[in-house]
Amino acid sequence: MQNPKPGVPTREQIRRAPKVLLHDHLDGGLRPGTVVDIARETGYDGLPETDPDKLGTWFRAAADSGSLERYLETFAHTCAVMQTRDALIRVAAECAEDLAADGVVYAEVRYAPEQHLEGGLTLEEVVEAVNTGFRDGERRARENGDRIRVGALLTAMRHAARSQEIAELANSYRDSGVVGFDIAGAEAGYPPTRHLDAFDYLKRENNHFTIHAGEAFGLPSIWQALQWCGADRLGHGVRIIDDIEAGPGGQVSLGRLASYVRDKRVPLEMCPTSNLQTGAASSYAEHPIGLLRRLYFRVTVNTDNRLMSGTSLSREFEHLVEAFGYTLDDMQWFTVNAMKSAFIPFDERLAMINEVIKPGYAELKAEWLFDQATAERPLASGSAGSEG
């Protein structure tokens, strides 16, 4: 009797599946060993640990501590070792390599150029160093048998006053590796409307931007990001769940903002592990991504800060597979959502979907056929197959 087609992917299949990442912070994804190396080379003596394994553990514990001060301290250390051209090139190249090794075929990685000026670099020199690193990492990934394309998102800090300058910087490098703009930082007290000049400028330039909204703060942050600022995507957007009412019988009612987000296919850059750390969700099984996927919002799966969360995009999918029983079909749905929402030209997005993503998942989904045939066909004995 033929076994049914297996639905839940294995850990190895999850890793090999082509994946797309839209929300990943460069300063949140360093290798612990790299942090130690650059600190030693540059004379930075502020690290809490100098053993890479212990330092990696410290980063995760600090991010899990529930203390905002300790969480922010983690970025103080990573930014401290990202103040020279060589350091930025190394960090960006390793980022591309690590993502490619995890099966990511397209990534948009964000960073704030204004946070990397303490060593005397200009904003332009920071962007050019990171772009050089991404290209080096793409090349090294190819040499390792992996394929990835990385685009940069330039981030302005919402508590600072340089968003117009960073928006202009993003626009000037839009044909040289930078695919869009972002604002990040504490939401409460720093609404996105403080940066309307930057967003209006980008819209006039027909450029793309995403906004961190609906993570630590609620629906007003999402509403402002969309209706006042005109964001193409929402960074996190997890609090849109506050505008969805689920009844005891399973019926669901969407408020007007949630309906707008779904109807307009606004991409949500959700980061499950990070959301657990910041208290935006209490567990993977209770993360709003489960309901939002069932309601066909344009949800994407992301890492946010791989070092602080001790995660990778494969691990994020592993958690969701365990929590919701997702199949390769679900993974493909999330991945196609992300590729549709990327900030590269339409024809290139379409080619990635049709020539990389769909064939990759088709191959993975077909593996059970060959495993089935091997399992059901016993090896012939010595003379059973011979002709008399």
- Measured distance between the N- and C-terminal CA atoms of the chain, rounded to whole angstroms: 31
For residues 307 and 32, is the Cβ–Cβ distance under 8 A?
yes
Residue 319 is assigned to a ligand binding site: no
In whole angstroms, give the CA distance from residue 34 to residue 303.
19
Residue 23 is assigned to a ligand binding site: yes
For residues 263 and 272, is the Cβ–Cβ distance under 8 A?
no
pLDDT tens, the chain, 388 aa long: 343 455 789 999 999 999 999 999 999 999 999 999 999 999 999 999 999 999 999 999 999 887 667 777 899 999 999 999 999 999 999 999 999 999 999 999 999 999 999 999 999 999 999 999 999 999 999 999 999 999 999 999 988 889 999 999 999 999 999 999 999 987 667 788 899 999 999 999 999 999 999 887 789 999 999 999 999 999 999 999 999 998 888 899 999 999 999 999 999 999 999 999 988 888 999 999 999 999 999 999 999 999 999 999 999 999 999 999 999 999 999 999 999 999 999 999 999 999 999 999 999 999 988 876 555 555 444 444 433 3
Structure tokens at 158: 């919402």
Task: Single out the catalytic residue among 215, 269, 316, 318.
Answer: 215
Q: Which residues pair with 254 in a beta bridge?
A: 244
Instruction: Examine the residue annotation and report whether 215 is marked as an active-site residue of this protein.
Output: yes
Residue 127: count other Cβ atoms within 10 Å of its Cβ: 25
Domains, the chain, ordered by start: 19-356 (3.20.20.140)
Residue 27 is assigned to a ligand binding site: yes
Q: Please name the amino acid found at residue 68.
A: L
